[in-house]
Structure 1
């Protein structure tokens, strides 16, 4: 339940952004739930090559939403899954040397990128609060605004007055409450549930065979590396809670399992997976530090994913209600990036310059992608996406001003522990 709202938000956003029909959305959400369970099992079961063996839950990476919509819009749905498969293979191959690559992604870089990802997604949630289509005549209808703000108020209320587990599912409670209010107003359409089949099996390449576009692959690899950095923090947090030292071999197996989950996501037409930080707090809260509850959770997700009517339930959430919940989630993504940046030395003006220029490029180029319309198409592939420009700018400027750490291995280990 803690991860559910964040997990289904990804297929809902991407499917809506790419204009998927009802049947496609139902499949997308159902297979997402199914693959969350499979991806979680890959991390729970420890083999020689895969699995970190911690009580970790994997879900779709929210930071992949905007890039995947861009890839789908420019190069087609097949390029989305080609890029995901290629990124997954890349992760598996670099798992053993990621600690060395990670020096390119200190908190200065990752914090900046995740902040930009959150900030660039917030306008999407605002559009949904208004009704989903800014060009529509009824955009900003008072009823939609009421639903959006009531959802936000419910989430805030649960966070303020709720305790323990209830607080951890605040977004889900907000979405349910907002949908109930919409149903009372006669604004909930149940046809998606009625039309969905009772049972289905996952189908490889449901949306067709993948195509491999270089620009799309590069973009997805960047997002996957950022997700790996985030997952690393989850692994060390769980290692600390469960009092288990995390070794380099543990990380390699964890990275490979995540890469394998991403590959399977591409094959079965869902999205990249990453360790969900929402569930780390539950391990600490419950005091249950074994993997057994997570095994049951993973199996439960797999079973749910086999019944499309369950997945179709997510489709009945009105746009305005979804927008209210997403506003909070995307805001939290941005705040997570800011928390990473709190580890940065702000007394150093060079660091401030790296952050300022990277965020400026990220938000500015995202709002005005036609700025480079007179440049060659190859250049436009990179400049048209603010997240890519923010990532590349932060990496290059950080290397230019700060260089590589002298004691690479020692610094890497320290940053991993942090």
Structure 2
């Protein structure tokens, strides 16, 4: 449990620390304050993971979900920093907006979850595939090195380290059994890091410079401030985050063979939004489910939510101990990239598995998948495609997962619901855990055929 939980932390660490580093640098924080902000994000990610995995009352999907800082909020937070006259007020304004957006999202969760009936296999399979495809460029970026502006970015050294890590993980998965096979990604990261040392790629200075103990004191950067424009911006981000979380829950539900129903999604969204609302108290940002960890669950087949809760415990401890948090930061980005190819590719493969039961022999469903994938891949293949749109619109349009999800839902309604009433083809019905169609729908489908 400990090693599997640590493996989840290793898979998502870079994604958690990147947003606070980016926003903190834009605000002009010192190195010490950046370390504090990063630790706070780890701490709040652990608390949000506890909410999601263990659950309290009707809060938490109780699925093996890791929660952390969502990348969807980075662009609008940078816009808030740019429009704030006094940079010292930027973080309090951001935190105030996140608190309001989180509370509104918490209240809206039950209504938002009712959209689950519009997510049959043809939609969920498309979205899950998009999640994996959208994450793969992140792994490719990691494989090329830590700094895109550096001269050695994409060098043969970095790419070789990524390839070696990938090969190590594949060999461990192919030729080992039991425990070692389950922690193949973690072992691959350790071996890749050790191999990177002679090349001078591994930096141990974060460990030597970090404090042993450090608590993220509440409102360290000042009391939250509430600016209307910032609140509206973060509310839009919250809607995007809730859409992606819904898709992630549907994806994970398929992988662990416990399909996420309306009740589960509502509880999961409550955990996301409440975690986001509480996060600024400890100087953290908006939280959301981490899709890369879905790939880890798919690959290892370790479905226990308590394993992920153990990972949440590690995150809390890392947030309370900067020196512990710095240990995983030693892993070079190219090594993370090599492991990321397996993790994120596993998510895309899970989506394809779901599409297999989506009735693609129907021309309508082929069109739904084709157009939705095309729309979702636009931000990946043509990043400047929406450059002429307003910044608020780009928050949604630049998320291929969100745009692809919306496209799939709308096309499914148009092709498989409108004008068909209750006698719609069975492929539009949500799937049961065993892949069968429920009750009366199955009888009607048999009668039609």
- Same fold? TM cut 0.5: yes
- Kept in 1, the 8 Å contact 2:95–2:280? The answer is yes
Q: Distance in 2 between matches of 1:13 and 1:237?
A: 28
Residues 8 and 29 of structure 1 are in contact (CA less than 8 Å); yes or no, is this contact kept in structure 2? no
The equivalent of 1:343 in structure 2 is 357
RMSD, aligned α-carbons: 4.1
Structure 1 residue matching 2:66: 3-state secondary structure: strand
Q: Distance in 2 between matches of 1:172 and 1:80?
A: 35
Within the alignment, does 1:59 sit opposite 2:66 as a pair?
A: yes
After TM superposition, give the deviation of residue 140 of structure 1 in Å.
2.9
Is contact 1:366–1:385 with CA below 8 Å preserved after alignment? no
TM-fit CA distance, 1:120: 2.9
Does the 8 Å CA contact 1:26/1:311 hold for their aligned counterparts? no
CA distance in 2, matches of 1:213, 1:397: 31
Equivalence for 1:101: 115
- Please give the per-residue CA displacement for 1:190-238, whole angstroms capped at 9, x wherever unaligned: 1112222211112445677476354553344233233234335656877
Report the Cα distance in structure 2 between the residues aligned to 1:217 and 1:124, rounded to whole angstroms. 25
Q: Classify 1:145/1:228 alpha carbon distance in 2 versus 1 (closer, same or farther; 3 Å).
A: same
| Distance change (3 Å), C-alpha of 1:224 and 1:348 | same
**Contact kept? 2:113, 2:265, Cα under 8 Å:** no
Q: 1:357 — aligned with what?
A: 371
Give the structure 1 partner of residue 47 of structure 2: 38
Q: Does 1:230 align with 2:245?
A: no
Instruction: Name the CA distance, whole Å, in 2 between partners of 1:296 and 1:271.
Output: 21
Gap change, CA 1:224 and 1:266, over 3 Å in 2: farther
For these two proteins, the number of residue pairs brought into alignment is 406
Alignment partner of 1:141 is 2:155: yes
Question: By how many angstroms is 1:361 displaced?
Answer: 2.1
Contact kept in structure 2, 1:304 and 1:310, CA below 8 Å:
yes
- Identify which of 204, 217, 229 aligns with 2:235: 217
Deviations 1:132-163 (A, max 9, x none): 34443323322212211111111111221232
Aligned residue number for residue 331 of structure 1: 345
Q: 2:131 touches 2:348 (CA, 8 Å); kept in 1?
A: yes
Q: With the length of structure 1 as denominator, give the TM-score of the two structures.
A: 0.78
Q: Which residue of 1 aligns with 2:9?
A: 4
C-alpha change, 1:231 and 1:159, in structure 2 (3 Å) is same
CA contact (8 A) 1:92 1:260 kept: yes
Distance, in Å, in 1 between the alignment partners of 2:128 and 2:96 is: 24
Change (3 A) 1:226 1:324: same
Say yes or no: does 1:161 pair with 2:175. yes
State the secondary structure of the residue aligned to 2:278.
Answer: helix
Higher mean alpha-carbon deviation, 392-401 vs 39-48, is at 39-48
**C-alpha displacement of 1:51:** 4.9
Contact 1:228 1:255 in 2 (8 A): yes
Q: CA deviation at 1:306?
A: 0.9
Name structure 2 gaps, 5 residues minimum. Answer: 1-5, 82-89, 436-449
Question: Corresponding residue for 1:178?
Answer: 192
Q: Match for 1:367 among 373, 378, 381?
A: 381
Partner of 1:320: 334
Tell me the distance in 2 between the aligned counterparts of 1:283 and 1:332: 10
Question: Structure 1 unaligned runs (5+)?
Answer: none
State which structure, 1 or 2, has the greater radius of gyration over its C-alpha atoms. Answer: 2
* Residue number among 42, 50, 53 corresponding to 2:59 in the alignment: 50
Aligned-pair CA distance for 1:277:
4.7
- Contact kept, 8 Å, 1:369 with 1:383, in 2: the verdict is no
